[in-house]
Amino acid sequence: MANITKKVSWSSRDDDLAQGEGTALLNGATGAARYTRQFSGGSIFRIGRLSTVDLEEEITTEEEAILSRPKEIPHNEKLLSLKYESLDYDNSENQLFLEEEKRMSYMGFRCLEINRWVVCGLIGFLTGLIACFIDIVVENLAGVKYQLVKQNIEKFTEVGGLSISLILWALLNSVFVMVGSVIVAFFEPIAAGSGIPQIKCYLNGVKIPRVVRLKTLVVKVCGVICSVVGGLAVGKEGPMIHSGAVVAAGVSQGRSTSLKRDFKIFEYFRRDTEKRDFVSAGAAAGVSAAFGAPVGGVLFSLEEGASFWNQMLTWRIFFASMMSTFTLNFFLSIYHKKPGDLSNPGLINFGRFESDSVAYNLYEIPIFIAMGALGGVLGALFNVLNYWLTIFRIRYIHRPCLQVMEAMLVAAVTATVSFAMIYFSNDCQPLVQDQAEEYPLQLFCADGEYNSMASAFFNTPERSVRSLFHNTPGSYNPLTLGMFTLSYFFLACWTYGLTVSAGVFIPSLLIGAAWGRLFGILLATITSSGSIWADPGKYALIGAAAQLGGIVRMTLSLTVIMVEATGNVTYGLPIMLVLMTAKIVGDYFVEGLYDIHIKLQSVPFLHWEAPATSHSLTAREVMSSPVTSFNRIEKVGTIVDVLSNTSTNHNGFPVVNEYIDNTEPGKLCGLILRSQLIVLLKHKVFVERARSCLNQRKLQLKDFRDAYPRFPPIQSIHVSQDERECMMDLTEFMNPTPYTVPQETSLPRVFKLFRALGLRHLVVVDNENRAVGLVTRKDLARYHLGKHGLEELQLAQT
């Protein structure tokens, strides 16, 4: 352990966390917390445990009130939070499971496979409907808003008093954003942001509270509508991915725990393993609906989301993605009174590049690569600025009312900056019929002309991207593009992380398209044969890919998404080179935006490989010990006491043959979960009741599936004093073949086994097969490669 740098934290890892699965004392920046005073260093509040309070100095009632309302919540990203538990991606092959499998016929297994395809089809269909609903509502509300502001501007341009138009624009933006922020901050905070980091963590095996609830879906959809209509620098694609995942999690279970309705279908899929695969399909369906990119959706789920994959899953996810795109296009064609026209590429329409773009030349490849490097630098700058801004928000803007006020402030500032840019811009362009500007503003331009800056600011972000891609050369002058890029870059950076439902894809593409088009114009200016560089839309596309790649660090999936969304495979190679360059350059400075926010939430996320210099560490050094074990036949009172122990809150327990006392571990014969024990206690599965005259029904896997996923807390189960003296036989319900490793197994081998199999608990045994420790997700996630070599993060109740 000499080569490990230990980080100092507010909490230490002790026997309370022996099993590695704890509960939260502080829910991020908004939960209930315990604070201790630093009496020697001023009025600084620190997160910690009750045991760190100075008991020698009495705390008065007034001081307690002050302590309960901190103005600042310190944050340290070098911690791992204990409020996150793991999902059970490893099936428990106990006797109940084996008996059920024996009873199933060949046709039974075929029906299960058919049901999986049916569920994926339903996921795609419902996700497409949600995307259609969002698109129609945003189109109508944004149209009303922009027409109202446009008429107001045109009126006061002639008579004076444009400040009234500015106030109207800022007021409308603030009202929409206030509604979207209130429902997120006060009703479902997990719906904030894009949701992609949370879904990524869920698919990695981390149980994120409330991330796939029906309430989250409703707030997400309403929130993103308000955010986009409110004029924020946001996109709809991230919330669509989250929405698809929530739909998948709900449909696959055949019931709604929120509505307390059970449709008695798909009961076999009520376990984490099956649910995970369907959530992967939902995320892909969300991408497909957003961009009209079924293949890109599959690759996104593979590259950015799913941690576990198989061949059949690929085809089912592709089917869900295709169904999502088809459903969206079908209903949009009906809405636009073009039945049968399924050519709409998706929720976010970039337009087609077949007719208005020229092919690239080989000597442009180095230029594209240079643009990729620039995108990587700008993306890294964006991520660094957003990182420090998020730290500030965690520390100071942690109350819902403050979060709503900040969102409204950003909405008003966005409208003000947009208005100022349009007002002071003298870039007037002739109104061409082919360009079909949605809301052209004449302002101080001559008749038959429109303000070019307005076509970028006075629009929804995806329409602005389409204009930058497809407007004819000469539609923007360099100063307009430069000012727009600079202002929108900082607006988007400020906006991402607000307590609203919002994505970062479209703002990133818009920033990149602006400086990419500027890049193309400057190339034509500095070269003698400007006709070679005549198509600025080509460079807008490359710049958009470079900027987005520099921020989110996606490569293969983003290439296919861009190709599918633009309908032109010609630029596949340049886009791939640009994205690879942006990722390499960006990774040199800082991580991708999603990884940064995962780390800021202190989530125990497991990457693909263990730290490079961790081979000297063994399972003995990383495991949690001593372990709490049960005998094969255990006293009910003992089980209740262990489960009720709030200081540990373990979720997995080795079952041993000869567990006599705490000094000598017993020989391992199985593993049983907290959720299983709670179901057994709820149904009173005691040895004495089985032997008595009471005709007790034999427990089946259906009983465990019915309780999934919200297993009742141990406090809700009543056990009488007489029942505490009864015995419980765990043989039939425990997993008799849990995965185990010897004490001397290296950390990389332990990591690979744990990560590849999606385990929640890995038992460490000695030479005599005695359980001496448990390895959980947090035991592995706390080791990472830092600037000073292998570093060990501390576990904290945050």
Out of 218-222, 322-326, 560-564, 688-692, pick the least confident: 688-692
pLDDT band for position 747 (50/70/90)? very high
Give the residue among 746, 734, 737 at the shortest CA–CA distance from 623: 746
The more confident residue out of 44 and 633 is 633
Taking a C-beta distance cutoff of 8 angstroms, is the pair 455, 467 a contact? yes
Residue 321 has pLDDT above 90, yes or no: yes
> Among 437-441, 452-456, 481-485, 496-500, where is mean pLDDT lowest?
437-441
At 366 the pLDDT is 93
CB 191 within 8 A of CB 501: yes
Cα-to-chain-centroid distance, residue 209: 12
Q: 450 pLDDT exceeds 90?
A: no
Structure token digits, residue 554: 């996606």
Listed in sequence order, the residues at least 6 apart from 619 whose beta carbon sits closer than 8 Å to its beta carbon are 741, 742, 743, 744, 745, 746, 747, 750, 764, 773, 775
User: Quick one: what percent of the chain has pLDDT higher than 90?
Assistant: 53
Interior angle at CA 670, CA 667 and CA 672, nearest 5:
130
Say if CB 124 and CB 324 are below 8 A apart.
Answer: yes
Residue 214 — pLDDT band, cuts 50, 70, 90?
A: very high
Once rounded to an integer, what is the mean pLDDT over residues 242-249? 96
- Rounded CA separation 775/741 (Å): 10
Cα(436)–Cα(439) distance, integer angstroms: 9
Q: Tell me, what amino acid is at 798?
A: T
Tokens representing 790?
Answer: 């292998």
Share of the chain above pLDDT 70, in %: 84
Asked if pLDDT for residue 40 goes beyond 60, the answer is no
Q: Give the H or E element holding residue 785.
A: strand 783-786
Fill in the amino acid letter for 716: S
Q: What is the largest CA-CA distance in the chain?
A: 100
pLDDT at residue 2, as a whole number: 39
Query: Which segment of 386-390, 643-647, 660-664 scores lowest on mean pLDDT?
Result: 660-664
CB atoms within 10 A of CB 325: 30
What values do phi and psi take at 792, rounded to 5? -115, 120
CB burial of residue 386 (10 Å; 0-12, 13-18, 19+): buried
CA-based nearest residue to 319, from 132, 136, 127: 127
pLDDT average, residue stretch 241-252: 95
Say what the pLDDT of residue 5 is. Answer: 42
Tell me the two tokens of residue 5: 């740098």
What mean pLDDT is predicted for residues 765-772? 91
User: Is the pLDDT at 23 greater than 70, yes or no?
Assistant: no
- Amino acid residing at 773: G
Residue 9 pLDDT: 36
The pLDDT of residue 421: 93
pLDDT digits (tens, 9 = 90+) for 357-390: 457 888 889 999 999 999 999 999 999 999 999 9
630-639: b (≥16 Cβ within 10 Å) or e? bbbebebeeb
Average pLDDT over the chain reads 84
SS3 541: helix
| pLDDT-wise least confident of 110-114, 136-140, 423-427, 481-485 | 423-427
Query: Residue 201: pLDDT band by 50, 70, 90 thresholds?
Result: very high
- Rounded to the nearest angstrom, the gap between the alpha carbon of residue 225 and the centroid of all alpha carbons in its chain is 19
